[in-house]
């Protein structure tokens, strides 16, 4: 239980949007080591190369630390690291794995910086540009996987993104509900 209390303190922040960003960063960063295991199971040929996808985990895990220095930087860092990780994973495993769907949570995360309109629009633009680049990816995957094997990973990536989007939407809904209650427009849960 002490570990959970320490993790709670690590992601805590006075700004609710930053607290959500910290929670998501911790969730994604801590799940980074499991992704290669799933890939290895579904596409053993990609197993060794998929270990390189864990390279982004330390960056995700550092976002709550960054939030202590700058809440804006932390909210910006999360979609930036997510976009970079998505492009990196596509380069490793191939765009036919459907990994580009991870850009959708990145776009939603860009909305967490809604108070910083310039940051929000730059991040949204970066996410959409990355999506277009992955749709037109001209190079073979570094793993050398053929498209049939890459296709085995589409369901994994779709399920992962669905779960992540559910967490994000639930977190944002809670933030909006809490805001409405604080403004006297809603009822407490």
Give domain limits for the chain.
Answer: 2-162
Which range of 57-71, 101-115, 165-179 scores highest in mean pLDDT? It is 57-71
Mean pLDDT of 111-115: 73
pLDDT bin (cut points 50, 70, 90) of residue 102 is: very high
Q: What is the pTM of this model?
A: 0.86
Query: What is the mean pLDDT of the segment spanning 19-38?
Result: 93
Question: Residue 183: its pLDDT value, please?
Answer: 56
Angle (nearest 5°) at CA 74 between 105 and 123: 50
Residue 144's pLDDT is 78
Does residue 187 surpass a pLDDT of 60?
A: no
Q: Tens of pLDDT along 63-84?
A: 999 999 999 999 999 999 999 9
CA distance 30 to 66: 17
Q: Which residues of 35-55 are buried (b: 16+ CB within 10 A; e: fewer)?
A: bbebbbebbebbbebbbbbee
> Residue 150 and residue 162: Cα distance in Å, rounded?
19
Question: What are the tens digits of pLDDT across the range 133-156?
Answer: 888 877 777 777 877 778 889 989
- Please give the average per-residue pLDDT across 101-119, as a whole number: 83
Percentage with pLDDT > 90 across the chain: 49
């Amino acid at each position: 239980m002490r570990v959970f209390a320490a993790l709670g303190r690590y992601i805590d922040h006075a700004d609710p949007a930053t607290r959500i960003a910290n929670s998501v960063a911790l969730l994604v960063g801590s799940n980074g080591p499991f992704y290669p295991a799933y890939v290895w199971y579904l596409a053993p040929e990609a197993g060794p190369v998929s270990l390189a996808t864990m390279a982004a985990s330390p960056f995700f895990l550092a976002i709550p630390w960054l939030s202590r220095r700058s809440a804006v930087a932390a909210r910006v860092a999360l979609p930036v690291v997510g976009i970079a990780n998505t492009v990196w994973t596509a380069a490793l495993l191939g765009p036919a794995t459907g990994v580009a769907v991870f850009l959708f949570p990145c776009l939603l995360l860009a909305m967490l910086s809604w108070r910083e309109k310039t940051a929000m629009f730059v991040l949204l633009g970066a996410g959409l540009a990355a999506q277009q680049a992955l749709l037109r990816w001209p190079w073979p995957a570094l793993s050398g996987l053929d498209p049939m094997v890459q296709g085995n990973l589409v369901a994994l990536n779709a399920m992962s993104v669905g779960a992540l989007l559910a967490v994000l939407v639930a977190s944002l809904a809670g933030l909006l509900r809490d805001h409405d209650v604080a403004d006297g427009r809603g009822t407490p849960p």
